[in-house]
Amino acid sequence: MDMAKRCFAGMAAVLLLALAGGCSWFQSGGDELTPDEYGALVDYARGVVKGISSKKLTDAEKRRIMAEKPIFGVHYRGYKEGQFKLKWVLNQGEGGDFERSVTYRGDGDMLDFAGSCRGVVLNGKPSAELKF
């Protein structure tokens, strides 16, 4: 019986260590982007968005993206590495639901701007009636 308890305790410890390895709770503070690195990532994303066809994204929407700070979501998996998104809400409808947004998504080394880009998602339709 004593051997079974030790075996179970050992397996539980290994399981907890394996689970903790993927959690951002155990990441050191140095894993996160500095304000300068975050700014460079946003600038790169804005450059990508700026190159989108005017048929998909109006000039007014592009100007707004260049001027406004995006919503930043991130799940760190290691040193400046993880899944992230930068989202600009361009027009909100009644009730707070967005009608038009642009999301730049990435995964991997966040300092390798081109390598971590996984795409740009446009939601909603362009509107000539948007007021900025």
Domain count, the chain: 1
Residue 101 falls inside a structural domain: yes
Instruction: Please list, in sequence order, all residues whose beta carbon lies within 8 angstroms of the beta carbon of residue 27, skipping any fewer than 6 positions away.
Output: 76, 78
- What kind and span of H or E run contains 114? helix 113-116
* pLDDT-based confidence at residue 125 (cuts at 50, 70, 90): low
User: pLDDT band at residue 96, thresholds of 50, 70 and 90?
Assistant: low
Q: Is 88 among the domain residues? A: yes
pTM of full prediction above 0.85: no
Considering the domain boundaries, does residue 17 fall inside one?
Answer: no
* 16, part of any domain: no
Judged against a pLDDT cut of 60, whether residue 118 lies above it is answered with: yes
128 within domain boundaries: no
Q: Flag whether 18 is in a domain.
A: no
Domain span at residue 47 reads 29-123
Q: Is residue 14 part of a domain?
A: no
Q: Is residue 35 part of a domain?
A: yes
Q: Of 30 and 109, which is predicted with more confidence?
A: 109
Render pLDDT for 13-66 as a digit per residue (tens, 0 to 9).
Answer: 444 444 444 444 344 567 899 999 999 999 999 999 999 888 888 898 999 999
- Residue type (1 letter), 127: S
Alpha-carbon separation of residue 51 from 29, 41, 117 (angstroms):
34, 16, 14
Q: Can you tell me the mean pLDDT for 97-113?
A: 87
